[in-house]
Chain A
Amino acid sequence: DAKTTQPPSMDCAEGRAANLPCNHSTISGNEYVYWYRQIHSQGPQYIIHGLKNNETNEMASLIITEDRKSSTLILPHATLRDTAVYYCIVRDSFSGGYNKLIFGAGTRLAVHP
């Protein structure tokens, strides 16, 4: 599975959009991009995933560049409850068929009033 690179920390003002970047320059054609987050002392929570098209759900939007070497997770109106560590993960859809996600260090997002 491809390796990802994320900034260790970011800040965002409450009510503003939080844009979290992820670099996955070695991603291959059948690898998906997943985002999870982990709020303090809780288990990780699935946010969104995509292959090449931009995706949106009730939590966030995922923008994947045309060459698929990077992506951005967008939280359109960040709240204090969005303060968490955000993990960007890429996974091969054919990696033995096993849901074996490899988590990196992630980005610690701090949303402040």
Chain B
Amino acid sequence: NAGVTQTPKFQVLKTGQSMTLQCAQDMNHEYMSWYRQDPGMGLRLIHYSVGAGITDQGEVPNGYNVSRSTTEDFPLRLLSAAPSQTSVYFCASSLRQGEIKSPLHFGNGTRLTVT
């Protein structure tokens, strides 16, 4: 199994451009989420999904959109990139939404720079 796969690994955007960060998991996990990590800070939750067709906001959702049309995929969209969105983005998934013993599995991140 590949686990959680994020693409691309690196991306440079100009202010105002749009792009989609891809996240796919092959573990049939119900729950998927996006975090961002900035230097010297912990991970902050952007959006999450408890199943196909269901999404909700995390701590820092502004400037990001998500959708969950399949169990496997959870793309994160930046509609108009801003320098404040320069960060490392991590996608994570877990087996069940309400299962306390279901740890999060993380991808290896997308490093985004907005100039």
- What residues of chain A have their CB less than 8 Å away from a CB belonging to chain B? 32, 34, 36, 41-46, 49, 87, 91, 93, 97-106
Which residues 25-64 in B have Cβ within 8 Å of A in the complex?
31, 33, 35, 40-45, 48, 50, 56, 58-59
> A86 CA to B60 CA in the complex, in Å?
22
> A34 CA to B105 CA in the complex, in Å?
13
B43 and A103 form a contact (CB under 8 A): yes
> A101 CA to B4 CA in the complex, in Å?
17
B42 and A43 form a contact (CB under 8 A): no
- Contact of A103 (CB < 8 Å), options: B40, B42, B100: B42
Given the known A-B contacts A43-B109, A49-B103, are A98 and B50 also in contact in the complex, defined by CB atoms under 8 Å?
yes
- What residues of chain B have their CB less than 8 Å away from a CB belonging to chain A? 4, 31, 33, 35, 40-45, 48, 50, 56, 58-59, 90, 92, 94, 97-98, 100-109
> A86 CA to B101 CA in the complex, in Å?
19
> A88 CA to B66 CA in the complex, in Å?
28
B58 and A100 form a contact (CB under 8 A): yes
Which residues of the other chain, B, contact A106 by a CB distance below 8 angstroms?
Answer: 42
Which residues of the other chain, A, contact B102 by a CB distance below 8 angstroms?
Answer: 99
Which residues of the other chain, A, contact B106 by a CB distance below 8 angstroms?
Answer: 43-45
A98 and B104 form a contact (CB under 8 A): no
Which residues of the other chain, A, contact B59 by a CB distance below 8 angstroms?
Answer: 102
A44 and B90 form a contact (CB under 8 A): yes
B104 and A46 form a contact (CB under 8 A): yes
